[in-house]
């Protein structure tokens, strides 16, 4: 992240002073249920913690982050994005690099795929809600695609607990609300990574979406919790592998990194399954290009003038497109 971007990244009071490693996880002990089964509206779980809960403050925060991006749009059709899901004070500027690429573009449906942080699930939980709510308003869930996926069985099911307090999908929606016009979503939360599940889910997604005008978003942070120097080395290597557009290579790389014994490294992509699944799906739909848009980690962000570099979390923005 360049110095200019760091200076202009908005920092709002609910997140000040929170350690970077903690922000990247779901650590808030929520006292109230963020959704009601009767309403079928999935209510915000992390508003006021990961991003502002005030509508106008959130709008200004996201718009400023998008305006801070000084990067030309890719020449091609963007089919997929990789975007981080930590607190906006840490990863919001990186996420903005992904969403600036699709600003004012037209997509009918955005399929958001991220990892389950709170519930143990196998395969993929497809969010059977009527809508997702944020302080910026509600976004309709595409029930047709949701039901089509659930009807295929296999790795697809609906586990409400996997969504109700999960932040990986929710944190993407305010960016989409400010970047796009009318769109609906399909929220998918994946369990522990399995290459077989990724392939099954990808095949079903490719078949289900057909010729629909769809954008895929893989919600994922990068390395957890090495020091600043090791995070840069590990994450830039992971991004170079993503750039090769070889999903299996990316999937297998995490185990290789973990065998190296890098201190405190617990994962290279917390949304490994979502990244690999989106890469597979985009390839099946004709994607043939990858652009690394931006990288930074939590150690690049100063809180009260201090940058915590002993244990950091990495964030990458990537576009997957058809040339």
| Secondary structure (DSSP) of 192-208 | S--HHHHHHHHHHHHHH
The enclosing domain of 170 has a CATH number of 3.40.830.10
Model pTM score:
0.88
Comparing C-alpha atoms, which of 52, 46, 42, 54 is closest to residue 27?
46
At 38 the pLDDT is: 55
pLDDT at position 10 over 50: no
H helices of 9-106, where?
20-23, 55-67, 88-100
Residue owning tokens 């449906």 = 109
pLDDT in tens, 96-149: 999 999 999 999 999 999 999 989 998 999 999 999 999 999 999 999 999 999
Q: How far apart are CA 322 and CA 202, in angstroms?
A: 17
At 17 the pLDDT is: 40
Q: Can you give the residue range of the structural domain that contains 41?
A: 3-322
Residue 124, φ and ψ in degrees, nearest 5: -135, 130
Q: How far apart are CA 163 and CA 165, in angstroms?
A: 6
Which of 27 and 39 is assigned the larger pLDDT? 39
pLDDT at position 12 over 60: no
According to DSSP, the residues that pair with 187 across neighbouring strands are 112
**Residue 260: both structure tokens together:** 């190296």
pLDDT at position 266 over 50: yes
Question: 137 near 47, Cβ under 8 Å?
Answer: no
Q: How far apart are CA 287 and CA 223, in angstroms?
A: 26
Question: 277 near 196, Cβ under 8 Å?
Answer: no
Query: 3-state DSSP call for residue 127?
Result: coil
According to DSSP, the residues that pair with 36 across neighbouring strands are 41
Number of domain units in the chain = 1
Q: Residue 252, Cα to own-chain centre: how many angstroms?
A: 20
pLDDT at position 265 over 50: yes
Q: How far apart are CA 22 and CA 1, in angstroms?
A: 20
pLDDT at position 313 over 60: yes
pLDDT in tens, 182-228: 999 999 999 987 899 999 999 999 999 988 999 999 999 999 999 99
Average pLDDT, the chain: 90
At 276 the pLDDT is: 98
Strand residue runs (E) in 135-244: 137-140, 156-157, 184-190, 214-219
**Residue 290: both structure tokens together:** 């990858």
272-284 and 195-209 helices, crossing angle to 10°: 40
Query: 3-state DSSP call for residue 4?
Result: helix
What contacts 255, CB < 8 A, 6 or more positions away?
Answer: none
């Amino acid at each position: 992240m360049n110095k200019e971007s760091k200076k202009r990244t908005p920092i709002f009071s609910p997140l000040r002073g929170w350690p970077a490693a903690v922000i990247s996880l779901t650590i808030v002990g929520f006292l109230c249920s963020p959704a009601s089964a009767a309403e079928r509206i999935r209510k915000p779980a992390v508003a006021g913690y990961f991003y502002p809960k005030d509508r106008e403050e959130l709008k200004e925060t996201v718009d400023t982050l998008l305006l801070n991006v000084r990067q030309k749009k890719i020449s091609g059709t963007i089919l997929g994005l990789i975007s981080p899901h930590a607190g906006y004070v840490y990863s919001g500027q990186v996420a903005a690099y992904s969403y600036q690429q699709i600003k004012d573009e037209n997509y009918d449906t955005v399929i958001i795929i991220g990892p389950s942080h709170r519930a143990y699930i196998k395969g993929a939980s497809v969010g059977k809600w009527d809508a997702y709510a944020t302080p910026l308003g509600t976004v309709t869930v595409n029930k047709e695609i949701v039901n089509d996926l659930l009807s295929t069985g296999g790795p697809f099911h609906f586990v409400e607990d996997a969504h109700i307090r999960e932040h990986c999908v929710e944190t993407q929606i305010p960016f989409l609300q400010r970047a796009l016009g009318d769109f609906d979503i399909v929220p998918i939360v994946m369990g522990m990574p399995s290459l077989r599940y990724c392939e099954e889910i990808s095949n079903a997604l490719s078949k289900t979406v057909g010729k629909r005008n769809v954008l895929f978003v893989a919600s994922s942070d990068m390395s957890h919790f090495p020091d600043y120097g090791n995070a840069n080395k590990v994450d830039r290597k992971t991004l170079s592998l993503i750039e090769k557009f070889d999903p299996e290579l990316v999937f297998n790389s995490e185990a290789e990194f973990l065998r190296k014994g890098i201190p405190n490294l617990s994962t290279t992509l917390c949304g490994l399954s979502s990244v690999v699944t989106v890469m597979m799906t985009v390839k099946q739909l004709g994607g043939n290009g990858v652009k690394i848009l931006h990288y930074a980690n939590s150690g690049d962000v100063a809180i009260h003038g201090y940058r915590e570099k002993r244990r950091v979390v990495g964030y990458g923005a990537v576009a997957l497109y058809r040339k």
